[in-house]
Chains A and B, each alone.
Chain A
Amino acid sequence: MRGKVIKYGDNVSTDAIIAGKYTKTLKVQDLADHAMEDLDPDFHEKVKTRRIIAAGTYFGCGSSREQAPTALKAAGIECILAKEFARIFYRNAINVGLCVAQCDTSRIGEEDEIEFSPGDRCVKNHTTKEEIPVAKMPEIMVDILAAGGVVPYYRSRQE
């Protein structure tokens, strides 16, 4: 996938991604509507033209709420790059089929043009003409992502 970047800092918590009060729903659109509400009021405007988040360390820290990656995906985010992810968020993102990659994001700027797909060894920054190495992802995660999440992955294994 290829697209432009929305840039965030360190420690973006699950409470910032989707506040607890909005999590009591099964409608993904409801989640999408409130994604990043407190952190970035312009998020919905930005996501119209930019589909990749580049963040600092410890993205998704806090709760195990799967609503967090679900909200971002439903809002239109296709990929999240971060220096480090909180464990549960990382696993949840893969389970819902949202591409995540751990890499040094410090040289990725707001609105940079980025190219990356699951399994790639590096992120291409077309704006700065740089290639940034990506931490290796266990095979099972690549398979789950390729299937579009753990539900389709599981279904395909049943067949």
Chain B
Amino acid sequence: MAGGKTVAEKILSAHSGNDVYAGDICFCEIDRMMAHDANGPMAVQAFRNMGGKKVCDPRKIFFIMDHACPAPYERAANLQKMLRDFAAEQGIAFYEAGEGVCHQLMIERGHAHAGELILGTDSHTCTYGAVGAFATGVGATDMGASMLTGRNWFKVPETIKVVLKGALMPGCSAKDIILTVIGRIGAAGANYKSVEFYGEYLDRCPLADRMTIANMVVEMGGKCGFLCFSGMEPKADPDAVYAAEWEINLEEVVPCVAKPHMVDNYAPVTEVEGTKIDVAFLGSCTNGRIEDLRIAARMLKGRHVAPGVRLIVTPASREVMLLAMREGIAEELMQAGAIFFTQGCGVCVGTHGGVPADGEVALSTANRNFKGRMGNSKAFIYLASPETVAASVLTGVITDPRQLGGVNERESNQIR
């Protein structure tokens, strides 16, 4: 077989030195590797168990402390120390607690580029598809083997093509797009597959919004995703073969949520309006960027979180926090009653920093709403956009952000 290639086929071909197509197994040279404090320690253990002494190339590896930061208990502290010591011994770049969420840092600090093959010990590694990297999550043992040899084997994924047509309506955002896509395709709809997104929207929207979409590719099972804006390289060939093609009309996308306890449990926000919330979370690798905080600040400025609702904000990185302070956003959100938690993943993964109580309802801008995800299996998690979260904390119930009008419009929506 020799024909057009998808983006995934092109990148894996380039990295394996062979022309490979969906279904092929290939061995590839890996450009970058990322491990965090939750799964990194097991990777180091696997590396040692394999007889590893020196990593293949320390310049390719990044250790980022973000899952349990600052350490909420001794075991986490000890495992972070193990990674810190290993990084120092091997010359691996080490990002301390508080620097930010790994995926944000990998892109923000320029560790992920178009056309690269990147592995991370985190399922949301697919976020780097926002800049055109083939990036995928692996387990700790795979990471250990990759750190040792610099290579790994891959099954070339089939690709699903998603075309985003037109422009978003006011009050809607990238989060609503990806929740809508997942609602249609299903939580396992892209299992093992690569997802290529197309559409003019991707040229208009900021990197932040492309990251939001790429981030959630794994929530439909995707191995990797590519946000194919016009400048992205490599491009898929016109005659590339796709497993499926979907078209989403952005004008029909509405503010929406994923209801408990599955990410494809889609509902337009109008359907769940009035649901009482106890805790709201603005942040995570999905929606913790300055663009997300700006929208929330614009909506909350001069107002106050409703009685009985806790709003927790975690900027995605130190840089985002600094910007939020420079722009006065942090102050506006705090005055509105928000609690700022350390830059990192704690709240989203339920490690600490805002675990809900039994029976409580959380409205979150993160990417997962499985039972127990935020640390309590007796809580209920709704996923939504920053716009919907901001509108809802003001009323204490899930609220359609379009009701606030004007303040909730992102720049990327404005050209229609």
Contact = CB atoms under 8 A, between A and B. Distances in A.
Question: Do they bind each other?
Answer: yes
A20 interface: yes
B221 A149 contact: no
B188 interface: yes
B45 interface: yes
Contacts of A84: 188, 191
Nearest to A37: B377
A26 B41 contact: yes
Interface in A32-69: 38-39, 57-58, 61-67, 69
Contact of A20 (B25, B46, B351): B351
Contacts of A24: 37-38, 68, 73, 75-76, 79, 351
B377 A150 contact: no
Interface string A127-148: 0000000000010100000000
A66 B141 CA distance: 8
Interface-central residue, A24, A86, A96, by most chain B CB under 10 Å: A24
Contacts of A158: 50-51
Contacts of B218: 88
Contacts of B123: 62-64, 88
A87 B192 contact: yes
A20 B221 contact: no
A61 B76 contact: no
Contacts of B67: 20
Interface stretch (A1-9, A10-18, A109-117): A10-18
Contacts of B79: 24-26
Contact of B191 (A39, A87, A149): A87
A63 B123 CA distance: 5
Contact of A65 (B39, B153, B350): B39
A88 B192 CA distance: 9
Interface stretch (B269-277, B367-375, B391-399, B405-413): B367-375
B187 A11 contact: yes
A65 B45 contact: no
Contacts of B153: 140
A20 B141 contact: no
Contact of A64 (B46, B122, B221): B122
A39 B140 CA distance: 24
A128 to B, nearest CB: 27
Contacts of B50: 151, 154-155, 158
A95 B152 CA distance: 12
B377 A38 contact: yes
B138 interface: yes
A19 interface: yes
Contacts of A67: 39, 42
B191 A62 contact: no
A58 B221 contact: yes
B116 interface: no
A84 B191 CA distance: 9
A86 B370 contact: no
Contact of A58 (B139, B188, B223): B188
Contacts of B257: none
Given A11-B262, A24-B76, A87-B192, A151 B370 contact: no
Nearest to A89: B139
A20 B137 contact: no
A20 B79 CA distance: 15
A58 B42 contact: no
Interface in B359-390: 368, 370-373, 375, 377
B49 interface: yes
Nearest to B190: A87
Q: List the 10 closest A-B pairs by CB distance, nearest first.
A: A92-B139, A66-B139, A38-B377, A64-B137, A13-B370, A95-B141, A58-B188, A64-B123, A66-B140, A20-B349
Interface of A: 11, 13, 15-16, 19-21, 23-26, 38-39, 57-58, 61-67, 69-70, 84, 86-88, 91-92, 95-96, 138, 140, 149-151, 154-155, 158
